[in-house]
Structure 1
Amino acid sequence: MKYPFLILCLVFFQSVSSQERFLEIENDIKNGNRKMHTAFSVVDDETGNFAVFLDDDNMMYGFLYSPSLQLIRRFASEGLPKKYNQIIGYSILGQKIRLFLKDKNDKTFGSVLFDFQNGSTHETLYDFKLKQEFYVEGYSNGSKFHLITMPKDSNIFQVYVFEEGKEQIKSTIDLSNESFVDNQAEPQSLNTIMSTGGNIYTTGSQYRFQVDKIDPESPNSIETTSKIVKMYPSNTGFKLTVDTQRHTYLIDVSAQNLDYTLSTIEKPYLSTTMANSNSFLLDDKIYLISSTLEEMVFSVKSLDTQEELKNIHITKHDNITFKNTPIIQEGGTYKNYRELDKTSKFLRRLANEDIGIVASKYNNHYIVTIGSKKEINRGGGMMMPGFGFPVATAGAFTVTFNPTYFAYGSYSSTKATRIECIFDEGFNHKEGEVPQNTFDKIKKAADKFPKKEAETVFKLNDDYIWGFYNKKLDKYMTYKF
């Protein structure tokens, strides 16, 4: 039985031989044969140290490395009770890394401190529970972690700030003096708009919503960017976008003092009042898409001036002359790949499904993806919002603080339809083949080695690190792309 496995390993290692082997982590502090469920990494931007955490549903193992890949320390923690199953952020102070967790109902919170200097852990259950507040997201910034919530039917963000070595404080980002309108141009609370996209009604809770974290510098897919609420975290703060049919509300929050600026950006004009639309931020520009069954408009605007830099309008009778790929549909129950031949079929998808747009830079060009996605039931585990990885069985963690992992895991849980387009710096369409992105290369290597556990991707400096747990070798293998 050993020989087929060795042959498989040989084929795999040959398939990634063009990539630099980054780090092999021997987990000899692990006891038993439990499956390795989860892996993730935390990077210290100040020191260059990075930690890799592995979880096997019984223990969480932490490994801290220097920038030169020297192991500083490793040890394990029993972690928190199993109901705390989502890791939403972290704080770093020297060689202390605190991981913040929540329960599946978004009500109770806790943390696990890995003190790599002393080789000890400390578990904390926080003594507050959200009642009339709704969890929005977590934001990590150095030694601080921000737990962001919203009171019911309000324009206010409550921010619980956890700073290592200090008492927890509660701050407020108050947008009560700002104006927000729904799709009928009626005044509405931001909380309600975030959960409905400006519609009059919605199914389920009117105040709960999903937020996708976005790293614009990483490859992103329609699956990742089609939510109506998106967070773009950075070292200086975060941007939160909320999309309705006619507007994108952009809330830019400073990490230093939690001040904000609000921009209300008009969507491209369509002849009907009802349209499906979304947006995407990249650098100092916003990319906008609006569609009905009859027509579609793609627009690019400056965030500073809101000047429109590009506007492309097509109807269902037009050919899409600015695309560099066929109209591609991937996923689905019966056929994983097909090409649509008519613009009308493409607009039908955009109008009726979760519409999205993505932009990225490649050399001196922009790659723009326009499309939509539809959730499908593949059986098995439930899918985490924004992820292609299933929510694992009871006890396993999901990790939502890493937008790179968020983006990489977004390919396989949906049926998605898209076109990809190349534009120059002046947003003139350019002919040519759309280049492979880094995630395409990683997935090509990963697909050749199907039996892997705890797959993850994270950014380290200018590189992407892909890793998985090899149970036979009892090692965590990582490669640099």
Structure 2
Amino acid sequence: MLRLRILFGMIAFISSQIANTQETLSSFKNDLKTTSTNVSVKDAIPVVNHLNNNVALFITDPKNIYGYLLNDNLAVKNKLAFTNKQRTFKTLIGNSIYNNNYQVFLANKKRNKFLFANFSFEKQESQTKQFSLNTPDEKFIQSLSLQNRFYLISANKKTDELFVYSFDEKGISKRHKVTLPDFNFLGKTEKVVTPVALLFSQKSDLKKIDTDVPNPVETSGDLNKMYIRENSIVFSFDTNKNMTQVLTIDLKTFSSAAKSFKKPLEKVKSKEKKSNSFIIDDKIFLATTNSEKLVLQILKYNTGDLIKEYLIEKDQPISFKNTPIIQRGGLYVPTRRMEKTKKYLRKINKDNFGLSARKVDGKYHLVMGGYIPVGTRGVGAGFGNFSVFFNVSQSSFNSSINSVSTIIESLFDEEMNHVEGKIKDDAFDKMKPFHSKPRKGETLFKFKDFFVYVTYYSGSKLFRLEEFKD
């Protein structure tokens, strides 16, 4: 009898957690799709209008694209359908919005040819236009959408030139050559290199960091990262273990500036040391580690002045953590706790090392540790696996469930003093019990002050939009 009461109590508790966590905002049927349900939906692509909080949700199958325009309550206000004839372009790299017309930009597999597609819900029509980079030697670096405008970044490795393309409402591009600063960037071996060479030094696609999104170390652990800060692009380079180097491009003048931050090396002298950084608000977090010690410094981003320093030593408990040492095993392996500091240091020094910070409820939430990628969570093949270029929220969520990581989490106040207290589950933590298994037609996006997860049910052709908050 007691066991039954416990069982029913657990069921009631789990049900209440589901009810509190998983709130359905809206749902609608994909009634534009009249073909057989055997022709499966591939992708759902959200384009958020940050000026009026409308959302265009584009849904693709192998033959067609279905567009639904949602109002600021995420209810359908208009829709259109058209045949997808441009199947060469499968990677979505960004979007723009002009006069309530929604535009998306796509790339081919080699990322040397691109497609501009304009969708007018009012006129119930669409137009497409192809374009290429100005010269064959230019290579695509990254892209971004800022204040409903799209920018494409490219570079010429042979001439060490960096370019930013801007686009008007007709998809006509204008190439801006970036004026590079007179600054000696250093490569991995202390040799002077150009910023263009640093941008090409990483084999994987350059990660975009959104500090309003939970960034697992799997996202922030790359040595090269890109941030959007106000009206500027910021590239950070941690290829050199002795310093973090930063290149900032002003999107109004297309001029640039550079600076560097010396990493905390005095107490970490091993050749096997690892280091990384993370930029947020007016601060930069710098960490250097080996198998015996870890030094964390928080500096003022504008001046480089030290705010606080924290030290981890292998034979001492970690004084500034708010969680146990946690080892997460990816999607199907349960979380474990690690007791000894020396195991944590040994593990993160062996794996890839990263850290990230996010401001929640007036406090800075730091995640720091090592990780091993173990898989890729696909998002379909219609417009393609676009999350690294287009949907930063989706990319971060995918990363968090496709790796083995060993981390600690900490809280700090504005002065970077350690703050005691329990760390609450963030929106991604709350999503995982419901959406850790990929389905075609799924997506998620940041909307207002919360995240929206879109689930597709192929049998009923129903889309459900759920709210997840920190």
TM-score by length of 1: 0.86
Match for 2:214 among 209, 214, 219? Answer: 219
Distance in 2 of aligned mates of 1:235 and 1:43: 18
- Partner residue in 2 for 1:4: none
Contact between 1:57 and 1:396, CA under 8 Å: does it hold in 2? Answer: no
State the 1:253 CA deviation. 2.4
User: Would the aligned equivalents of 1:213 and 1:406 in 2 still touch at CA under 8 Å?
Assistant: no
State the shift of 1:70 in Å.
Answer: 5.0
Amino acid at match of 1:141: L
The one-letter code matched in structure 2 to 1:299 is Q
- AA paired with 1:237? S
CA positional deviation for 1:306: 0.8
Asked whether the equivalents of residues 365 and 411 of structure 2 are also in contact (C-alpha less than 8 Å), the reply is yes
Q: Show the 5 A alignment for 1:275-424.
A: 275-331=273-329, 335-376=333-374, 378=375, 383=376, 389-390=377-378, 392=380, 396-399=384-387, 400-424=389-413
Q: 1:476 to 1:167 in 2, by over 3 A?
A: same
Matched position secondary structure for 2:441: strand
Kindly indicate whether residue 192 of structure 2 is the aligned counterpart of residue 187 of structure 1.
yes
Aligned to 1:76: 81
The aligned residue for residue 59 of structure 2 is 54
Q: Which region of structure 1 is more displaced relative to structure 2, 470-479 or 330-339?
A: 330-339
Q: Is the 8 A contact 2:140 2:153 kept in 1?
A: yes
- Structure 1 pair 301–128 and aligned structure 2 pair: CA distance change class (3 A): closer
Alpha carbons of structure 1 residues 334 and 25: separation in structure 2 relative to 1, 3 Å: closer
1:26 to 2, 19, 29: 29
Code of the residue aligned with 1:442 in structure 2: it is M
- Output the amino acid matched with 1:328: I
Q: Structure 1 69/467 Cα, relative in aligned 2: closer, same or farther at 3 Å?
A: closer
- 1:112-155 deviations in whole A, cap 9, x for unaligned? 21112211111222144763222210121345321101111565
Question: Match of 1:73, SS?
Answer: strand
Q: Does 1:466 align with 2:453?
A: yes
- Report the CA distance between 1:285 and its aligned residue: 0.5
2:155 and 2:108 map into 1 onto residues whose CA distance is 17
* TM-score for both structures, normalised by structure 2: 0.87
1:390 is displaced (CA, Å) by 2.1
Question: Cα–Cα, structure 1 residues 20 and 432, in superposed 2: closer, same or farther, change >3 Å?
Answer: same
- Contact 2:60–2:382 (8 Å) recurs in 1: no
Give CA deviations for 1:336-367 in whole Å, capped at 9, x if unaligned: 43333332222223223221101122323221
Instruction: Quickly say closer, same or farther: Cα 1:333–1:21, change in 2 above 3 A.
Output: closer
Aligned length: 449
Aligned-partner Cα distance in 1 for 2:382–2:70: 30
1:438 matched to which residue of 2? 427
Change (3 A) 1:77 1:265: farther
Which amino acid is 1:410 matched to?
Answer: S
1:250 to 246, 251, 256: 246
Match of 1:108 among 113, 116, 127: 113
Using the alignment, how far apart are the partners of 2:277 and 2:168 within structure 1? Answer: 33
Pair 1:152 & 2:140 matched: no
The 8 Å contact of residues 61 and 75 in structure 1, kept in 2 or not, is answered as yes
Q: Name the residue aligned to 1:3.
A: none
CA contact (8 A) 1:16 1:445 kept: no
Mapping 1:152-171, distance limit 5 Å: 152=157, 155-165=160-170, 167-171=172-176
CA contact (8 A) 1:155 1:175 kept: no
Query: Which moves more between the two structures, 361-370 or 215-224?
Result: 361-370
Shift in alpha-carbon separation, 1:70–1:476, aligned structure 2, 3 A:
closer
Range 15-24 or range 399-408, more displaced = 15-24
The change in CA–CA distance for 1:466 and 1:237 in structure 2 (over 3 A counts) is same
1:406 Cα deviation after fit: 2.1
Change over 3 Å in CA distance of 1:68–1:336 after alignment to 2: closer
Q: Is the 8 A contact 1:353 1:374 kept in 2?
A: yes
**Alpha-carbon shift at residue 330 of structure 1 (Å):** 1.5
Per-residue deviation, residues 432-480 of structure 1 (Å, max 9, x unmatched): 3211111112223435xx5843222112222221111122331110012
Q: Distance in 2 between matches of 1:122 and 1:394?
A: 18
Q: Please name the residue that 1:131 is paired with.
A: 136
Aligned partner of 1:228 in structure 2 is: 223
CA distance in 2, matches of 1:230, 1:82: 30
Q: Structure 1: where are the runs of 5+ without partners?
A: 1-10, 198-207, 384-388
| Counterpart Cα distance in 1 of 2:362 and 2:75 | 37
Cα 1:103–1:285 change in 2 (3 A) is same
Unpaired segments of 5 or more residues in structure 2?
A: 1-13
Q: Secondary structure at the match of 2:393?
A: helix
Does structure 2 retain, via aligned residues, the 8 Å contact 1:141–1:235?
Answer: no
The 10-residue stretch of structure 1 (315-324 or 284-293) with the greater mean CA deviation from structure 2: 315-324
**Counterpart amino acid of 2:457?**
N
Taking the aligned partners of 2:75 and 2:206, their CA distance within structure 1 comes to: 36
Give the Cα–Cα distance (whole angstroms) in 2 for the partners of residues 39 and 465 of structure 1. Answer: 12
Shift of 1:326: 2.0
Cα distance change of structure 1 residues 333 and 257 upon mapping to structure 2, 3 Å threshold:
closer
* Match status 1:260 vs 2:265: no
Task: Give the 3 Å change call, closer, same or farther, for CA 289–102 of structure 1 in structure 2.
Answer: same
